[in-house]
Amino acid sequence: MKPTWLITGGAGFIGSNFLRLAYQRTDGRLVILDALTYAGNLANIKDLLTQPNVEFIHGDITDSDLVEKIFQNHNITQVINFAAESHVDRSILGPKAFIKTNIEGVFTLLEAAKNAWNGNFNNRLFLHVSTDEVYGSLKPNDSPRDETAPYRPNSPYASSKAASDHLVRAWNKTYGLPTLLTNCTNNYGPWQFPEKLIPLVILNALDGKELPVYGDGLQIRDWLHVSDHCEALLLILERGKVGETYNIGGNCERTNLTIVERICDAVDGLLDKKMGSTRSLIRHVTDRPGHDRRYSLNTSKLNRELGWTSKQSLDTSIPELVRWYFENREWAGKK
């Protein structure tokens, strides 16, 4: 019997990129569950929705009745959970939605999987996609965090993701649910909602708008191309050890200001600006509360056990991504 994958949040940024890769690599059935909130967009996957082995269901992972029916009606064998509220700024302004989706939603999925599979865990997997932010902020000379590092989340978003990670671990240890957990660094790539740093700066720069940078802009993030992330997830689904956690990172630490400046240079090159620089649009604004200074992940476990390494270069990807957003301005709500 062919597998049936439930991909939650499959119309979002990472979920839609994963769906495209999964469609190419598996002959199983792909069921997408997405609430289509502000960050979910059917335009991300519209070309796949006509395929016979792809089905879209509009709904929320917190809807236990709906989730249970999906498991029953589709004989789900794998769950890949991307569904999450994921923007730190939004979590500071309104944490309730993050508690509901990121904690209650994951609980609903875990319970539905446990009840539907009913101890028959052969060829079943529950993959939960999480974030490096659960490990908290690092100092400049701190070593990258590995999978044994303690959780020290500092924002409502990171705290809600940390809680969901603990639930996944508990359902594996208590009920034997075959889970896999991944923590990834900052993703970039096509179809990313324009509230995150890279697409926001690209679109503002293309429009000649100010480019806000929090504080001094020297916060450090590790950057991972979404295609590398999705390749890692497929590899973990295929060969990962049940019950384990895997860090996924790009080994590409950059300050936020460096990212903004490189985007400016790429926009200047695309628009053939001969006078002046888009860098003049950079504006340093008041830092957000509790802004973590640095994130960094040790990915040696994934490299060593499964042979995965990132392939995409941020430096070469930024000009390509600037062009993608320029050519897809209608998708981004621009004319």
Residues known to be catalytic: 132-133, 157
Under DSSP, the state recorded for 240 is P
Nearest to 205 by CA among 143, 140, 261: 261
Residue 39 and residue 12 in contact, taking contact as beta carbons nearer than 8 Å: yes
Q: Which amino acid type is present at position 323?
A: R
Give the ranges where 100-239 is alpha helix by DSSP (H): 106-117, 156-175, 197-207, 226-239
Residue 6 and residue 76 in contact, taking contact as beta carbons nearer than 8 Å: yes
Strand ranges, E, within the chain: 4-8, 29-34, 54-58, 78-81, 125-131, 179-184, 186-188, 211-214, 220-225, 245-248, 253-255, 282-285
Residues 6+ apart with CB under 8 A from 107: 167
Which tokens in the block code for residue 109? 């999925």
